[in-house]
Chains A and B, each alone.
Chain A
Amino acid sequence: MTLPEIAPRDRDWHPPALAPAYRSSVLRAPRHAPLRFDHTASELTGPVFGQDGIGPDDADLLINYARPGETAQGARIVVHGRLLDEGGRPVPGKLIEIWQANAGGRYRHKKDGYLAPLDPNFGGCGRCVTGPDGAYAFRTVAPGPYPWPNGGNDWRPAHIHFSVFGDGFAQRLITQMYFEGDPHIPLCPIVQSIPRADAVDRLVARLDMEATVPMDIRAYRFDIVLRGRDATIFENRMEGT
Chain B
Amino acid sequence: MVLKESASQTAGPYVHIGCVPSFAGLEDMYGGVDPGSVMVTGEPAGRRIAFTGAVFDGEGAPLCDALIEVWQADGQGNHGPSNGFTGWGRQPSDGGTGAFRFDTIKPGAVDGQAPHLSLWIVARGINLGLHTRAYFDDEAEANAADSVLRLAGERAGTMIARTTPEGFHMDIYLQGDNETVFLDV
Chain A residues packing against B (C-beta within 8 Å): 1, 7-11, 13-17, 19, 22, 24-43, 45-48, 53, 55, 58, 64-65, 84-88, 97-99, 107-112, 123-127, 161, 163, 169-170, 172-176, 190-191, 193-194, 199-200, 202-203, 224-228
Pick from A28, A41, A125, A224: contact of B21, CB under 8 Å:
A125
Residues of A with C-beta under 8 A to B181 = 32, 35
C-alpha spacing A163/B18, complex, angstroms:
8
Which residue, of A86, A174, A200, has the highest number of chain B Cβ atoms within 10 A? A174
Pick from B35, B151, B182: contact of A32, CB under 8 Å:
B182
- Is there an interface contact between A109 and B152, defined as CB atoms closer than 8 Å? no
C-alpha spacing A87/B9, complex, angstroms:
22
- Is there an interface contact between B9 and A86, defined as CB atoms closer than 8 Å? no
Which residue, of B88, B113, B184, has the highest number of chain A Cβ atoms within 10 A? B184
C-alpha spacing A13/B5, complex, angstroms:
8
Pick from B5, B9, B69, B79: contact of A227, CB under 8 Å:
B5
Which residue, of A19, A97, A169, has the highest number of chain B Cβ atoms within 10 A? A169
- Is there an interface contact between A202 and B6, defined as CB atoms closer than 8 Å? yes
- Is there an interface contact between B5 and A35, defined as CB atoms closer than 8 Å? no
CB distance from A158 to the nearest CB of B (A): 14
14 residue pairs bridging A and B, Cβ less than 8 Å apart? A25-B125, A26-B125, A28-B123, A30-B180, A33-B184, A35-B148, A35-B152, A47-B36, A99-B17, A108-B17, A109-B13, A175-B7, A224-B6, A225-B5
- Is there an interface contact between B5 and A41, defined as CB atoms closer than 8 Å? no
Q: What is the interface residue range for chain B against chain A? A: 35 or more
Q: Beyond the given A29-B127, A97-B18, A111-B14, please list 18 additional residue pairs across the A-B interface where CB-CB is below 8 A.
A: A8-B184, A27-B57, A27-B59, A33-B184, A36-B184, A39-B185, A42-B113, A58-B30, A108-B17, A108-B26, A109-B14, A125-B18, A161-B15, A173-B6, A174-B15, A191-B9, A194-B7, A199-B7
Least CB separation from B69: chain A residue: A172
C-alpha spacing A64/B88, complex, angstroms:
26
Residues of B with C-beta under 8 A to A202 = 4, 6-7
C-alpha spacing A224/B86, complex, angstroms:
26
B164 within 8 A of A: no
- The secondary structure that dominates the A interface is loop
Residues of B with C-beta under 8 A to A53 = 30-31
- Is there an interface contact between A99 and B15, defined as CB atoms closer than 8 Å? yes
CB distance from A151 to the nearest CB of B (A): 14
Given A31-B175, A170-B185, A176-B9, A124:B63 Cβ within 8 A: no
Residues of A with C-beta under 8 A to B161 = none
C-alpha spacing A16/B21, complex, angstroms:
28
Which residue, of B57, B152, B185, has the highest number of chain A Cβ atoms within 10 A? B185
- Is there an interface contact between A172 and B129, defined as CB atoms closer than 8 Å? yes
CB distance from A29 to the nearest CB of B (A): 6
- Is there an interface contact between A46 and B71, defined as CB atoms closer than 8 Å? yes
CB distance from A204 to the nearest CB of B (A): 11
C-alpha spacing A26/B15, complex, angstroms:
19
Pick from B3, B81, B183: contact of A35, CB under 8 Å:
B183
- Is there an interface contact between B184 and A34, defined as CB atoms closer than 8 Å? yes
Residues of B with C-beta under 8 A to A173 = 5-6, 8, 129
Residues of B with C-beta under 8 A to A40 = 110-111, 113
- Is there an interface contact between B13 and A28, defined as CB atoms closer than 8 Å? no
C-alpha spacing A136/B107, complex, angstroms:
34
B139 within 8 A of A: no
Given A108-B17, A170-B185, A123:B26 Cβ within 8 A: yes
